[in-house]
Amino acid sequence: LAGYREADAALGGLGERLDDMARGVRDAVNGVLATGYPASGPTANATSRPVAVLGASLGPQLDGPVSATSFNVTLTNLSTGAETTTTISFNPESQSLSDLSGQLDGVGNLNASLSTDGRLQLQADSGFGFDFAPRGGPEDPGGVLGALGFNAIFAGQGAADLSVSSAVRQDSRLLALGQAPGAGDGRNAGKIADLAQQGLAGLGGRNPGEAFSSILSEVGDRAAGANARLESSSTLEASLEERRSEVSGVSLEEEVVDMLRFQRSFEVAARYLRVVDEMSRELTGLVR
């Protein structure tokens, strides 16, 4: 996608559509992973993407469609394995990031706070870890956790900079491909694979293949139009050149013949002058 984005100017300004597609795929995949269980197990801390106004409604500040939602947060005692699950309900249209922080801070053994740059920071008590896996419960249908960037695999704001997050590149076990603890749980991996055939909200209801094919089709149409205009311009140029030659009465073939004739005449004259010069020198030598 980045390569196509760099060619945006030449392709007639399709960059915004490529950016929309990149964000649509990013949000869909990150949304699945947000309520997943990573192979590395419960995490001790996590930080969200920043928002501009902590006390304002969260929805309008998030990059992507969100709605009223609910999700589970589970605190695990890392020594005993005991789990405590709490369901959080949240409406981003009427509640703020401060409200969400307050709810999460009320969960036992979990501390939530807001940073000065507008990020939600979560920290488990010592000896505990947490996760957002549904365990058969709600899976954040409103997409708030995904929009905030929890468990995200993709980073970037558009086609030019879409990339795998540095944390996942360093440790692939952070991929939240399961929905509950236990080896072999890859239900989220299956969900991500299914996205290829699903209509995504961020892509106007089309699946990724359809969205990309639509962009390529438009690129092809614009390229064909550009080629047609180029051929038309070339034909017009040739016609004008022919007309100019007719009006001026100049024949390029005759001009070339005359040029060669003048060149040969110059060469003959040069040889003649060289012979005369040599003869003059010889005569001068005899006189001396």
User: What confidence tens digit (pLDDT) does each residue in 88-141 have?
Assistant: 999 999 999 999 999 999 999 999 999 999 999 999 999 999 999 999 999 999
Lowest mean pLDDT among 16-20, 100-104, 208-212, 252-256: 252-256
Classify burial at 118, counting beta carbons within 10 Å of its beta carbon; exposed 0-12, middle 13-18, buried 19 or more. middle
Residue 22: what pLDDT?
Answer: 83
Q: Which residues contact 264 (CB under 8 A, 6 or more apart)?
A: none
In the structure, what pLDDT confidence band is assigned to residue 274 with cuts at 50, 70 and 90? low
Nearest partner of 147 among 196, 81, 194, 93, judged by Cα = 93
**Whole-prediction pTM:** 0.69
Q: Write out pLDDT tens, residues 20-42.
A: 888 888 888 999 999 999 999 99
Domain boundaries of the chain, sorted by first residue? 2-217, 251-288
Rounded CA-CA distance 239/146 in Å is 61
Which residue has better confidence, 240 or 104? 104
Rounded CA-CA distance 43/126 in Å is 11
